[in-house]
Structure formats: C-alpha cells, structure tokens
Amino acid sequence: MRINTLKLIFLFLITASNGVFSQLLYEYNGHPINGGARTASLGGAGVGEAYDANSLYWNPAALSFVQRPTLMLSSIIGWNRETLDNTLSSPPIYIGDKQVIALGITGSYYGKTWLRPFFSYQGIDLGYSIKLHETFSLGLTLNLRYGSSTQSALWATSGVLGGFYSPSPGISYGIVFDGIGLGVLYKNIDYKNSVKYERLKQNLRIGTAFKFPSVYRPPYITISLESEKIIGQRKMVYQGGIETYPLSFLSLRCGLIASSNATAGTVGVGFKVNWFVIDYALSPNSAIQQFHQISFSYNFRH
C-alpha cells in the first residue's frame, strides 16, 4: 500500500512538473542594433561623439561632423553563441553644404544554429543630419525592420531624434531621444514560435566627449561620457569610456556601464594599418550583457 502511494505521488510530481515546464516562455527582443566595436568597448557612450559612419546608430545629428567617411562591417556574437547581430554601415550616400544622408543595413539571428535560427531580424536604417550652425546640428534616423520566426512574420518601424553641439575642436555634446515607434518581440511557448509587436522603451540620452590634444588625429586620449533616462521608470543608466593610443597603430579602450540594478565593464582594442581598422570589444559581465564584437572598417580619404 505504501509503495503504491509513493508511486502515485511520484507520478503526480512528474505530471505537474511537465505542466510547469510546458509553460516556460522564451523571449528575444529584436531591436535596432547599435554600431561598431569601438563605441561598445567605451561602455556604449557614443551620443556625444562624431567618429565614423556608426554615428547613424548612436546619434544621427553627429553625421554632419564626421570627418572620415567610413565603410564598416560589424558583428556581435552573444556569449552563449545563440545570437548573431551584423551591421553594415556605408559612407554617407549624400553630402551637401549643410546636409548629410547615410545608410545602414542590419541583420540579427537567434537560435542554437545561425543557419536555421528560431528568429531572424533584418532591417534598413536611414540617417539624416542638417547643420543649423557651424557648431550645431539636428538629425533623424528611421529604422525599418522585418522580423520572422518559423510560424509568423511582421514589419515594424521606429525612429531616433538627435542633436549635436561642438563649440570647439576636441569638445562635443550630444542629446538623443530614442524608442519612437515599434519593435519586434520573438516568443516561444510550448515549442511554438511567434513574433508580435512591442512598444519600444523610450529614453533620453545626453553625452559628451573630450579629445586631447584636439588638433592631433588620432588624439592621445579620448574620454566619452553618457547618461540615460528611461521614460516612465525610476531608472538611470550611466556609461563612460577612455581610449588611448600607446602606439600610432594601436588603441586600448575600457568602459563602464552602471545602473541601479547592476554594474558591468567593457574592454577593447583597435589595430590600424593605413586606412584599414580592426576593432574588438568584450563585455564579460552577465549582469547587463555578455558579448564579443568585432568590426572591420575602411576609412576613405576626405
């Protein structure tokens, strides 16, 4: 009798546990991808700096101040190797007296294998910047995204507004309002894949960058700082990074991301050979995000 009772209890636990596990929900947020490995290794503090074509993703208003047209291919590999994000940033497709237009292409994949992912996410990003003064510009980035799973697919659009101010060489400030529009949310419930619209979290980011010396390129040292306020939440995120050039072809970087929930560091390195640059960034702390990122860039003569 006691053995039969134990069998019933054991059978009940198995049935209950299977019911619980069948309700496990796996989610992955498709989102506009931020640009290259250099800024990622600086803690993601890129709003206040105009460096290359990836200003399209950090602050579109800074496109008017970019001095080096760049073609960049960047890849982010998740720590668990279940995600792969690719970004191709082109040099400005139009440069006028006061206006600049830039184009970017992105692709994101989530799953145990990149050849047959559970979820894929492709998009086109169009950035526009106009100089209202020699020291001040405004910008806009429009993101068009297509997210698809094995069972459904949809389109989503979003946008970013930015302002950029550089009163003198080597000193710059930026402000960005992000999260306008919709994103794509991937869900897996009971082994059934689906995608749905997700309202993006709106945030306001303010940043600044200092270069010393301002007339030397590359500068001996760059300091980039940024703060982010998530609208509707009592949450602030602070980001910052330092870059230095111990050798003319070698740059070393480190960054810090701090919020009310966690703190994480980033590190990176860059190698420059003539007009070709390789950048690598590493974020080893799982408290915020773990990833490897590598970027290949070609800087055109200007």
For the stretch 238-272, pLDDT in tens is: 999 999 999 989 999 999 999 888 888 999 999 99
Q: Of the candidates 166, 112, 168, which has an alpha carbon nearest to the alpha carbon of residue 137?
A: 166
Whether the ω angle into residue 219 lies within 30 degrees of 0, i.e. cis, is: no
Is 258:287 a contact under the CB 8 Å cutoff? no
Give the Cα separation of 55 and 102 in Å (integer): 9
Evaluate if residue 188 carries a pLDDT over 60: yes
Evaluate if residue 17 carries a pLDDT over 80: no
Evaluate if residue 301 carries a pLDDT over 70: no
* pLDDT mean across residues, the chain: 83
Instruction: Map out the domains of the chain with their CATH numbers.
Output: 26-299 (2.40.160.60)
Evaluate if residue 88 carries a pLDDT over 60: yes
Q: How far is CA 145 from the centre of its chain?
A: 15
The pTM assigned to this predicted structure is: 0.85
3-state helix, strand, coil split of the chain in percent (to 5) is: 10, 60, 30
Classify residue 100 by burial, with Cβ atoms within 10 Å: 0-12, 13-18, 19+. Answer: buried
Region 227-235 average pLDDT: 89
Q: Cα angle at 281 between 90 and 58, to 5 degrees? A: 45
Residue 33 pLDDT class (50, 70, 90 cuts): low
Is 279:267 a contact under the CB 8 Å cutoff? no
For the stretch 137-174, pLDDT in tens is: 999 999 998 988 878 889 999 999 999 999 998 899 99
